[in-house]
Structure 1
Amino acid sequence: MNTSNIKKYAPQARNDFIAAMRKQAAKYGITADSILPAEQKGGLLLIGDQVFPLSVMKPRDKLIKRIQTSSFEQTIDYIAYSWFNRLCAIRYMECKGLLDHGRRVLSSADGSAGLPQILEECLDIELPGLNTSRVAELKLDGNKDEELYRELLLAQCHALNQVMPLLFEQVSDESELLLPDNLTKTDSLIRDLVSSIPEEDWSDVQIIGWLYQFYISEKKDQVIGKVVKSEDIPAATQLFTPNWIVKYLVQNSVGRLWMMAQPDSTLASEWEYYIQPAEQSDEVNAQLKQLIDVRISEDGDTLNPESITVLDPACGKRYIHTFNNTSYMLV
């Protein structure tokens, strides 16, 4: 994979996402320096000289509480990355045709950075919790594309949370509040994501890992070599593990154990990173055989790959590799 486009896009994207979240928070009277009081007037909420629907009060209060628990900077940084991560995952899925409704959520039907296909064909879209009557009303109005697209995007995120909760955390009220406005405009975060990285680069799932690595690269450079605060530990220590390293680790741990138990197996010939073990003394070979015999006696007549556990004490992220039709997650 050519990572040059990702390396150019992701660090700037971090700054852009954080700036967008800051701007959205300021819209609701929340900045790093102050939090304006809010006053309820009937079905409206007054913040400074701005008027909002009363529905803003609950998520705003949750956002304030989160800021008070950690800090303004940490909260903005976390929510910015959450939206970056969600949008990148949706982009990957739409390029691979993995969304149930078959429409693109971030790009046009032809893959370009134009009006999202889901917006153009919204009357035919069904998503859990999406109010189709409301969608039709906004679409027929003709002037509410921004409001409509926001509802469609949030509905897509909610739907993905139901099937992939580990990848799509529950979209909480405060993160929805900071989702920027004007998402369909030419200078939006979404348009930039689609136009900055060619679609062919999305063909490999490793792009998600590289996006993360380059997203935090600037912050990593800022904290590395210094006394690292607890909130900066991920930026200083977490690195994306390329697929070839994962294969090397699994083939020479789980794979080696399998070959010790099945010496007549030809499976190792298919492993490009497998290293034949060095010759051992009779004493060491006897100890290794005893270990294998114990595992076989626990599993039955033969070693069961699904019973093998592997510890990587220096691993900061989870990664998965399939060996002998079994997926192994090293943590």
Structure 2
Amino acid sequence: MNSFELSEINIQQIKSYAPSARKKFLKNISAIFDSYNINQEDIKNITPEQLEKITKASPARDRIIQDIILNHDNSIKKFKESMAYTWFDRFVALRYLELVPHGFFGHGFRLLSNNHESNPTVPEITRNLSAVLHDFRITQFSDPLELDQDVISSLIDDNSTGKEEEVYRFLILQHCYFLSKPLSIMFAASDDISYFFMPTNLLNRETSVIADLVSNLDEEHY
């Protein structure tokens, strides 16, 4: 499979679920945003000269302020809503791609869910980390992801020493970076500001926006 056809997804079910999902994504995004300690006065007081000097190499906080001004009409609310919708769309796309016939992901494991009914919300990829990292092909058409052996060993060790969330976030980000080329309408290059706002607590079954999405969008509708 070389293309992504959104029309193949049951749009009506997504529309029905989207309002409640939006609130959960927005709550998560807002908590991340608050950690940057940005308020409306910060946006109001920045000068055009200061704004012009902000680059992709600038601190995250400065880049966020710049993005709010240039792309969201100086509105923190609009910015947070945009980030929430961005990540909702990405996770819906990733969910679709893990379910397409014969599998889109070359490593052969589900990224967001598990096809075992006894534990459907524990991502299958987290239970097969060693196999995935030693031959990490995002899709069946791509070359293996080039990871240093020390990085592989570190990630595998971290997954067994309480850093499962950190490792899982790494895996999701690598998929997103790769998909920025074939699916640029949804995914972005690694230096995009949206990655500062990837939702947190993704492996917590009670609060994870991924677990909620998997539970609320029926598999047969993809």
TM over 0.5: yes
**Residues 1:200 and 2:220 are matched in the alignment:** yes
Q: What residue is the counterpart of 1:59 in the other structure?
A: 60
- Residues 45-87 of structure 1: CA distance to partner in whole angstroms, max 9, x if unpaired? xxxxxxxxxxx97233211211233321221121211111111
Q: 2:24 aligns with which of 16, 21, 27?
A: 16
Question: CA contact under 8 A between 2:86 and 2:186: conserved in structure 1?
Answer: no
Q: What residue is the counterpart of 1:263 in the other structure?
A: none
**Alignment gaps of 5+ in structure 2:** 1-8, 44-56, 138-144
Superposed CA RMSD in Å reads: 2.7
Question: CA contact under 8 A between 1:109 and 1:116: conserved in structure 2?
Answer: no
Q: What residue is the counterpart of 1:104 in the other structure?
A: 110
SS in 2 for 1:162: coil
**Alignment gaps of 5+ in structure 1:** 36-55, 203-331
- The TM-score with structure 1 as length reference comes to 0.49
* Greater relative contact order, per chain length (Cα 8 Å cut-off, separation 6+): 2
* C-alpha distance in structure 1 between counterparts of 2:90 and 2:147, whole Å: 18
Q: Offset at 1:153? A: 0.4
Question: CA contact under 8 A between 2:114 and 2:122: conserved in structure 1?
Answer: yes
Q: Offset at 1:166? A: 3.5
Q: Offset at 1:2? A: 7.2
Q: What residue is the counterpart of 1:89 in the other structure?
A: 93
Could you tell which deviates more after superposition, 175-184 or 61-70?
A: 61-70
* C-alpha distance in structure 2 between counterparts of 1:34 and 1:7, whole Å: 35
**Residues 1:117 and 2:124 are matched in the alignment:** yes
The number of equivalent residue pairs is 182
Q: What residue is the counterpart of 1:181 in the other structure?
A: 200
* C-alpha distance in structure 1 between counterparts of 2:203 and 2:127, whole Å: 12
- Residues 130-167 of structure 1: CA distance to partner in whole angstroms, max 9, x if unpaired? 55633431332321001000111000101111333244
Q: Identity over the aligned pairs, expressed in percent?
A: 33
Q: Offset at 1:102? A: 1.6
Q: Offset at 1:21? A: 0.8
* C-alpha distance in structure 2 between counterparts of 1:132 and 1:165, whole Å: 30
Partner AA of 1:24 in structure 2? I
Q: What pairs up with 1:279-298 in 2 under 5 angstroms?
A: none
Question: Could you list the runs of 4 or more consecutive aligned residues of structure 1 that deviate by over 3 angstroms after TM superposition?
Answer: 1-8, 31-35, 127-133
Aligned in 2, Cα 1:57/1:199: closer, same or farther, shift over 3 Å? same
Partner AA of 1:110 in structure 2? H
By percentage of residues, which structure has more strand? 1
Aligned in 2, Cα 1:167/1:173: closer, same or farther, shift over 3 Å? closer
Aligned in 2, Cα 1:99/1:22: closer, same or farther, shift over 3 Å? same
